[in-house]
Structure 1
Amino acid sequence: MTDIPRRTVQRTAKLASLPLGVAGRVAAGWGKRLAGRSAEEVSAEVSARTAEQVFAVLGQLKGGAMKFGQALSVFEAAVPDELAAPYREALTRLQSAAPPLAARTVHRVLAEQLGRSWARRFAEFDDEPAAAASIGQVHRAVWHDGREVAVKVQYPGADEALLADLRQLQRFSRLFQALVPGTEVKPLLNELRDRMAEELDYRSEADNQRAFAAAFDGDSRVRVPKVVASAPKVMVTEWVSGDPLSRIIREGSREERDAAGRRLAEFHFSSPARVGLLHADPHPGNFMILPDGRMCVIDYGAVARLPDGLPPTLGVMTRLALERRSAELLELLRNEHFVRPGTELDADEVLDYLAPFVEPLRPERFHFTRRWLQSQAERIGDLQSDDFRTGRSLNLPPQYLLIHRVTFGAIGIMCQLDAEVPARAIVTEWQPGFAGDE
């Protein structure tokens, strides 16, 4: 035991407790069914309590477990209403909560990364963290030139924690699958693992943020804080104060919800063309609304590199689905490897599967609601449905996986916002291929 860090053992024990707790609840559920309660009632209760346990455990952890929880958080709007309350509460905590580092540990990391005289770079430094991220925490400070800054300090051992968490979480992927209907959890975990090295080096994140800040400098709708300094495990950026998106989701006015949804959609679809990058960490904790109405976007550790912008194929596919051109749509899907090799599919059934996803682009404005997203999750997650069988025959090529997840994440947040958004105009402006320019 002495060769294994105690915290790693504790983390593993917490994660390992998850399937045991679920098994116990399922067994208790069968007992209640024998006592006369309906399968639906028992299933709802078991799922709700499972959600509470899963996210309570994830919320105690940093590294991969917390990052996975944040990635799941954008799918909360797809959870049925009767289960949404425990999800919402637990996921909201995950988006901002983690145990803080001791001040002496923070100082040690700053000395290692910025030099022994690191304190001279700051006029002031607050030892109490202002916020927590998945692999680090943020401190408020004043730079030596008087600028208010945010200092992100990576947790010591974050790399080992990420690896350990993700290995454990991959073992339990079937458990998490049940919590997010219609979403493939295993590829999400694989993708998080593949992007881990990039996110652990704050110099890479700083380069990404500098690119976004330059592209959106002076923009009337989006603000990206500028990078002041960076090192492998410390990053200093401008401090920005605003209204957290989580507050607007919880209690915002209709005007606030619609404006936030529109800003989010504009940022998501315009970034690849303007920056050559796609912000790939969409959860409410990374967005805030400023007093002047702009949306501030933070955390650029995860990005998709799209130097040529969004792939035109996605725009063409979307347009063909909207225009109900099923034969051409199926041909395009086959040519672009969206259909598993050797699979026979009916063009009209493929159209029936995909058409509901593009409905937000049919009217001038679309009301993104939890109920709409829930209906999509239920439709493709029903093992007895034609849509489920069609979906199993389709394939998502690797180059589209991150784009798909991030787009779905943005849509999930718009549904959490209950926002009306002019989605068609935004996609027409920024998605190549959609307006017939392929």
Structure 2
Amino acid sequence: MGNVSEIVRRRSSRNAKLAKIPLGIAGRAAVGFGKKLAGGDKSEINAQLNQKAAEQLFTVLGELKGGAMKFGQALSVMEAAVPEEFGEHYRDALTKLQAAAPPMPAETVHRVLDQQLGTQWRQRFQTFDDSPAASASIGQVHKAVWSDGRVVAVKVQYPGADEALRADLKTLSRMTGLFASVIPGADVKPLLAEITERTEEELDYRNEATNQRAFAKAFDGHPEIVVPKVVASAPKVIVTEWLDGIAVSAIIKQGAEDPDGTRAVRNRVAALMGKFHFSSPETVGLLHADPHPGNFMMLPDGKLAVIDFGACAPMPNGFPEVLGRMLTLEVEERYDELTTLMYDNGWVIPGRTITDKEIADYLRPFTDPLQTDSFHFTRKWMQRVAGKASDIGSPEMKTARALQLPAEYLMIFRVLGGSVGILAQLDAELPFMQLVRTWMPGFREERSAS
């Protein structure tokens, strides 16, 4: 892909590009239908259609960067829920969005650095590589050597990212039906709402620097988890220590090619990611809220490195105690008490009525990981859960329409959903309940009391 001078800023231009996705997919579907009538091979035609649709999805979202790419990255975590018969092409295209986009030219990067670090910014570096090492949704990363000899990662925000992000999110909110068809079972409306809410925070890299400093301090010296230290920050530039490792997205790909030979490393990744997410609220007072495989790396010494702290949820008191109590009641099948707790804490839409049995039937597909000490997360399991969750004619869907997610739980469930998606991609086994028992307030106390 060629260079882009900067993000396409005007909303009309970005809307036109985004509009290409549904129009292009619809056009190809019509052509494919014509070929089928003419006696073409149905499976081959479907495969071609899906591959072209996936390529277009990646190309358009990647070119636009901003909110479009950020949404694509969030969507990519859920690709394990895509049925196998047409999942492969979307999987490849969406996975690319986790770390790939057309780069900014060097002169644009230099201009941003002039504005953010001062016109003498080169004196702060021994060397600076003009070719980006990776791309993010609203910025790209360059490798450099700081003045004190440390190798650093320099994330530079795309000019116009702020305008583009806001424009994209408005446009994408009108296209939720299309994306829901790409990833069956994924309710994209809350995802978009939550991304929109966090937009302003993520556009100022000083917020990310503050979050990352808190994580780096809390995990400093940790035997298994590494958070790179922040070296310098400005509103549109952040400089952090550079880490060399294998991205979890690459480990997922290796796992698909060699399931037996990579089982140990995949299970280790799962265990460390689980430990990081479950322990962070109590250890740091924050939850890392951007779970996709591009934000995690395995280092040569077997430690897990975590990057990109732009999206974090404040949790000064750890996970909400009510959530732990709800899990306890689910595990012990005390559905009468669970239903009452959900009513009392805003999980049921005012004026709606649900019974204990309806809650039990609704939750059953999701609670497999709670039934055993260790659980094997697979694509097949996730596809089954997603299939049940998206069956609009089922009694469970009627129950779902009576429920709501309280605002304070939105980020928790985004992280839970994204993490489960990664675990299914990894095809990994995880001591899930051990993590719950160790780190979930309310669960610990409720279980010990009972």
TM-score by length of 2: 0.91
Q: Distance in 2 between matches of 1:298 and 1:209?
A: 8
* Shift, 1:20, TM fit: 1.5
Letter in 1 for 2:345: E
Per-residue deviation, residues 279-325 of structure 1 (Å, max 9, x unmatched)? 01110000000111111000000011111111111111112112111
1:18-417 alignment, distance < 5 Å:
18-28=21-31, 50-252=53-255, 253-417=262-426
Per-residue deviation, residues 91-126 of structure 1 (Å, max 9, x unmatched)? 121111111111111111111111111111011111
Q: Distance in 2 between matches of 1:276 and 1:156?
A: 32
* Shift, 1:83, TM fit: 1.8
Q: Describe the shift of the 1:24–1:270 C-alpha distance in structure 2 as closer, same or farther (beyond 3 A).
A: same
Q: Distance in 2 between matches of 1:357 and 1:305?
A: 26
* Shift, 1:358, TM fit: 2.2
1:425 corresponds to which residue? 434
Letter in 1 for 2:417: F
* Shift, 1:56, TM fit: 3.1
Which blocks of at least 5 consecutive residues in structure 1 are unaligned? Answer: none
Letter in 2 for 1:87: Y
SS of match in other structure, 2:367:
helix
Q: Describe the shift of the 1:37–1:357 C-alpha distance in structure 2 as closer, same or farther (beyond 3 A).
A: farther
* Shift, 1:33, TM fit: 7.5
Q: Distance in 2 between matches of 1:114 and 1:136?
A: 16
* Shift, 1:163, TM fit: 1.2
Letter in 2 for 1:192: I
Q: Which moved more, 1:318-327 or 1:269-278?
A: 318-327
Q: Distance in 1 between matches of 2:238 and 2:9?
A: 28
Contact kept? 2:212, 2:229, Cα under 8 Å: yes
Q: Describe the shift of the 1:436–1:45 C-alpha distance in structure 2 as closer, same or farther (beyond 3 A).
A: farther
Q: Which moved more, 1:334-343 or 1:266-275?
A: 334-343
Contact kept? 2:81, 2:379, Cα under 8 Å: yes
Contact kept? 1:142, 1:149, Cα under 8 Å: yes
Q: Describe the shift of the 1:428–1:41 C-alpha distance in structure 2 as closer, same or farther (beyond 3 A).
A: farther
* Shift, 1:51, TM fit: 3.9
Contact kept? 2:62, 2:102, Cα under 8 Å: no
SS of match in other structure, 1:151:
strand
Q: Describe the shift of the 1:365–1:232 C-alpha distance in structure 2 as closer, same or farther (beyond 3 A).
A: same
Q: Distance in 2 between matches of 1:347 and 1:430?
A: 27
Q: Distance in 2 between matches of 1:98 and 1:37?
A: 35
Q: Describe the shift of the 1:396–1:49 C-alpha distance in structure 2 as closer, same or farther (beyond 3 A).
A: farther
Q: Which moved more, 1:344-353 or 1:68-77?
A: 344-353
Aligned length: 435
